[in-house]
Amino acid sequence: SFTRFKGELRFENVSFNYKGKPEPILDNVSFNVATGEKLAIMGATGSGKSTLLNLIPRIFEATEGKIFVGGVEVNDWPLKDLRDTIGLVPQQSILFTGSILENLSWGDSDAAPDELEEAAKKAQIHESIDLFPQKYKTRVGQKGVNLSGGQKQRLSIARALVRKPSILILDDSTSALDVKTENALWDALAKEAATMLVVTQKVQTARGADKILLLDEGKVVGYGTHADL
Ligand code: ATP
């Protein structure tokens, strides 16, 4: 059924170079993630991790090879539907001037307040928000409250969860979280049916994934369970 393959992701011999730059940033990358599985992506800075993630919602298009989401090649997806089904949390959290509520519902203005709160709870940010006198109406950004790096990351994760993506992608989005908060986050996310891709520098985080993909200069140099590698 469609549901079974909804969150499936497959890279088939994917290569990529940025326009005007001949050197391959990704070189013949293949892997697959089943619906509900969690894949950790590791590799040195500049190894191509963010580039790989950006190919999935077609922010850039693969130069060679094919990428399938839910069994359908990304090029065959209507772009809006593709981007709705993929929740990509970028490395740098992007918050705009406005309330926490507005920041959470960005891109999904139909979301009900209780859905926003539920996403915030899963992302482990609800308790911090609840401590602000104006709660979800608290302003962030210019003239707003100062959020810590970890709070911004959790707010960005909550924003992605609001849209109930079938594939959730975290690009080093938990780097500023302490171990306890991060564990609580993984526990909450494990209850979601979503497939997850997580770029991380932390061995601890990678160990909790079903599989690890190790990149070096755009090439896959390791792929398997933590025990395999
Ligand atoms: P980090 O861990 O530092 O985030 P990364 O593994 O995510 O690194 P990428 O950000 O994918 O690596 O970068 C891979 C390579 O592509 C780097 O050499 C980088 O300089 C180059 N690169 C990234 N974005 C662009 C761009 N828009 N145009 C040209 N080159 C780019």
Tokens 């997806």 — which residue?
77
18, 173, 221, best to mutate for ligand 1 pocket (most atoms within 8 Å of CB)? 18
d(CA 45, ligand 1 centre) in Å: 8
Task: Compute the C-alpha angle 27/29/32, nearest 5°.
Answer: 175
Contact by Cβ (8 Å): 88, 62: no
d(CA 198, ligand 1 centre) in Å: 17
Give the residue among 53, 72, 71 at the shortest CA–CA distance from 14: 53
Q: What is the ipTM of this complex?
A: 0.96
Residue 46 Cβ inside 6 Å of ligand 1? The answer reads: yes
Q: What is the pLDDT along the chain (229 residues), one digit of tens a residue?
A: 445 578 899 999 999 999 999 899 999 999 999 999 999 999 999 999 999 999 999 999 999 999 999 999 999 999 999 999 999 999 888 888 999 999 999 866 778 889 999 999 999 999 999 999 999 999 998 777 889 999 999 999 999 999 899 999 999 998 888 889 999 998 898 888 789 999 998 888 888 899 999 999 999 999 999 888 8
Name the pTM for this structure. 0.92
Q: Which amino acid is at 98?
A: G
d(CA 55, ligand 1 centre) in Å: 13
d(CA 189, ligand 1 centre) in Å: 28
Cβ-Cβ contacts under 8 Å for 167 (sequence gap 6 or more)? 7, 9, 56, 69, 85, 86, 87, 194, 195, 196, 197
Structurally, at CATH architecture level, domain 2-224 sits in: 3-Layer(aba) Sandwich (3.40)
List the domain boundaries for the chain: 2-224
Give the residue among 42, 52, 43, 46 at the shortest CA–CA distance from 14: 52
Which protein residue's CA is at the shortest distance from atom 19 of ligand 1? 46
Neighbours of 114 (CB within 10 A): 8
